[in-house]
Amino acid sequence: MKKIFILALIFISSLSSAQKTENIIIITTDGFRWQEVFKGMDSKIANDKDFNQDDKSYINKKYKSSDDKESRKKIMPFLWSEIASKGQIYGNRDLGNKVDVSNPYWFSYPGYSEIMTGNVDKRINTNGHKANPNVNVLEFLNQQPQIKGKTIAFGAWNAFDRILNEKRSNFPVISAFDSIGGNKPTEIQKLLNEMKANSFKPFHEDECLDVFTHYQAFNELQTNKPKVLYIAYGETDEWAHRGHYRSYLDAANQVDTWIKEIWNFVQNDPQYKNKTTLLITVDHGRGDKKKPEWTSHGDDIEGASEIWFAVMGPEIAPKGEIKTESQIYQKQFAQTIAKIMGYTFKADHEVAEEIKAVFEN
């Protein structure tokens, strides 16, 4: 009898080490630099009148600290409290922890394609590229019998329809000024749709403000409960290109607040609580060696291949900020996303292996 009891205990403990993640939320904030993530506000940029939008005292008051660790926490308080204590954060190059894109282009479409397909397709060399011929991991997950039809993506930029090949991939991609709710939107969905359609459009029809993408995605999370949710914010890149450092930092700070809002919901909902993994990353880095190049990226900008990522969930040991030397590549995210969900991503193209360190204790 005692033997059976012990065997049962061993069986139960082996079960508890099995797959725990049943939902994944992937978040990107376009071109947000590792420099601000790990070192906080760059005072040289903040004090440069070309970049501070005549609002030096505002950004200094809101984000400045003589301690880099304080400043970074002011920009991303949720990342540097909850995720730093319960998840893992990679990409602090000052400690030798390197994350880079593998594609040779260092701009958005190739970057998002690399994240989602696990592969570098050198033909994808323009943001205007047609629908992505490569199958992505979201599409792959959406085809798995147990989670079929439970995938959805929201992107502020209209290119996500092509990047994720909405036509072929067979899951909804709500991008730019797309509305939600189909023919029967709820009152909340109607209001969200109207506000977005009639909002300020600093990026013309190509991209909406992040606030609309966020609340459409958050509404989806609360109502339809997807198992695979992707949210792509865009303002960090847009304001950086305009040289607006205040708005760039504010956009990142706002994304951090939204991630907190999402996580609070997740951890108070029975479908999601302790069964959801969060992965946060970016499509490319930006310049830094020559300070004015922080606004830009592309293969002619030194350092624009340098990225970062954070991950938190039931399979993820609470290692916090990773301080060991290593080299990780963007193309490894797709298989990492699949493995977190308990699958192996296979496609017609080559798929880079998962990031092993993420799963190690």
Select from 199, 197, 138 the least CA-distant residue to 163.
138
User: Smallest Cα–Cα separation from 87: which of 339, 315, 282?
Assistant: 315
Specify the residue, 100 or 237, whose C-beta has the smaller distance to Zn ion: 237
Tokens of residue 177, six digits? 């000024």
Question: Whose CB is nearest to Zn ion?
Answer: 237
Q: How far is the CB of 45 from Zn ion (least distance, A)?
A: 17
In whole angstroms, how close is the CB of 119 to Zn ion at the nearest point? 22
Quote the least distance from Cβ 314 to Zn ion, whole Å.
34
* CB nearer Zn ion, residue 234 or residue 313: 234
Give the whole-angstrom CA distance, residue 77 versus residue 267: 18
3-state secondary structure of 309: strand
The span from the CA of 227 to the CA of 217, in Å, is 13
Query: CA 323, CA 98: separation in Å to the nearest integer?
Result: 10
For tokens 């282009």, name the residue: 105
- 283 binding Zn ion? (CB under 5 A): no
Piece of the chain touching Zn ion by CB under 5 A; list 11-19, 72-80, 235-243, 319-327: 235-243
CA distance 347 to 62: 46
Q: Does the protein bind Zn ion through residue 207 (CB under 5 A)?
A: no
Q: How many residues bind Zn ion (CB under 5 A)?
A: 1
Assess 237 for contact with Zn ion (CB under 5 A). Answer: yes
Binding span for Zn ion by CB under 5 A among 37-45, 231-239, 321-329, 344-352: 231-239
Q: Which stretch binds Zn ion (CB under 5 A): 43-51, 128-136, 209-217, 237-245?
A: 237-245
Q: How far is the CB of 332 from Zn ion (least distance, A)?
A: 22
Would you say 118 or 285 has its CB closer to Zn ion? 285
> What is the CB neighbour count within 10 angstroms for residue 315?
17
Strand order in the sheet with 326-329: 306-307, 97-100, 326-329
Q: Which is nearer to Zn ion, 32 or 38 (CB)?
A: 32
What is the closest distance, in whole angstroms, from the C-beta atom of residue 72 to Zn ion in the complex? 22
Token pair, residue 201, equals 């459009």
Least Å distance, CB 241 to Zn ion, is 6
For Zn ion, the closer of residues 87 and 234 by Cβ is: 234
In the complex, what is the shortest distance from the CB of residue 157 to Zn ion, in angstroms, rounded to a whole number?
Answer: 10
Do residues 153 and 172 make contact, with C-beta atoms less than 8 angstroms apart?
yes
Q: Please give the structure tokens belonging to residue 83.
A: 């995720």
Could you list the residues that contact Zn ion (CB under 5 A)? 237
